[in-house]
Amino acid sequence: MKKDTQRRGSFLPATATALLLASCAGFTPVKDAPHTAYQPPPASRGAAYNGMANGKQIEHLKRATFPALSEAERALMIEANREVNEDITYMSDGDNYGWMDLAVTEPRFRKPVAWGAPSGRYGDCEDYALTKKQRLIERGIDPSRLFVIKTKVPTAEGDMHHVVLAVPEGSEWWILNNWDNRIEPASHLKKWWAWDFYAPRFEDYRRVVRLRNGHSNNNGSPPDA
């Protein structure tokens, strides 16, 4: 934890930035993202933009234009994603706390309820996403640009409800997942793996962005996501 505290709040050196970006080569700027400074809403550092996505955050997602991420911001996202995935071991809230659902940011080192499990930092997908969001806020990324998103992922046993951190850029969302250290676009996960981002909906976000940018098909509807 001491190492984390020393790093937070500062951008990475150029060499470290290059190495981190090289480790996630597909994490490149979205073509329709404007190259301007991000403009957060008034009082964006209020509690409404922390934690899970809520009504105020979703309204901001519909209205805001999210510009291209800088190389330093990309490096911070790659670092935080990898770091939290390594810091926390997955465990359901039932096995961890004896409760069915408990949202925790930065799970503390403790012995879980599960019989025979050693002391450690445990959490479910929601806890990974909230912790990544908190660390990115501490390192200088505005909380109004970080969204904890609910999604359904198809499996052989049916749809699995899942939670990830999403960072919008242009008409895309970059997804920070706890299953591996890759940062993937929501459009790729939706198209190839049939993820359904439902709270908020990825399709609604893309539709609003494309209408705002003046793109539509012949019948006046926005292009398909």
> For residue 150, what is the domain's CATH number?
3.10.620
When pLDDT is cut at 50, 70 and 90, the band that residue 43 belongs to is confident
What pLDDT does residue 26 have? 79
Q: What is the mean pLDDT of residues 190-205?
A: 97
Q: What is the mean pLDDT of residues 55-75?
A: 94
In a domain, 17, yes or no: no
How many domains does the chain contain in total? 1
Count of residues making up the chain: 225
What pLDDT does residue 24 have? 55
When pLDDT is cut at 50, 70 and 90, the band that residue 7 belongs to is very low
Characterise 129 by phi-psi region: left (phi > 0), alpha (psi -120 to 50), beta (else).
Answer: alpha
DSSP assigned state of 110: B
In a domain, 33, yes or no: no
What pLDDT does residue 25 have? 53
Task: Give the residue among 72, 68, 114, 65 at the shortest CA–CA distance from 91.
Answer: 114
Distance CA 150, CA 63 (A): 20
List phi, psi (to 5°) of 190. Answer: -70, -45
- Give SS3 for 123: strand
Distance CA 37, CA 59 (A): 20
Task: List the structure tokens of 166.
Answer: 């999403």
In a domain, 24, yes or no: no
In a domain, 41, yes or no: no
In a domain, 43, yes or no: no
The domain in which residue 106 lies consists of: 48-212
Q: What is the mean pLDDT of residues 175-201?
A: 97
When pLDDT is cut at 50, 70 and 90, the band that residue 215 belongs to is low
In a domain, 28, yes or no: no
What pLDDT does residue 218 have? 35
Q: What is the mean pLDDT of residues 15-21?
A: 44
Q: What is the mean pLDDT of residues 97-120?
A: 94
The helix-helix angle for 125-138 and 71-87 (nearest 10°) equals 140
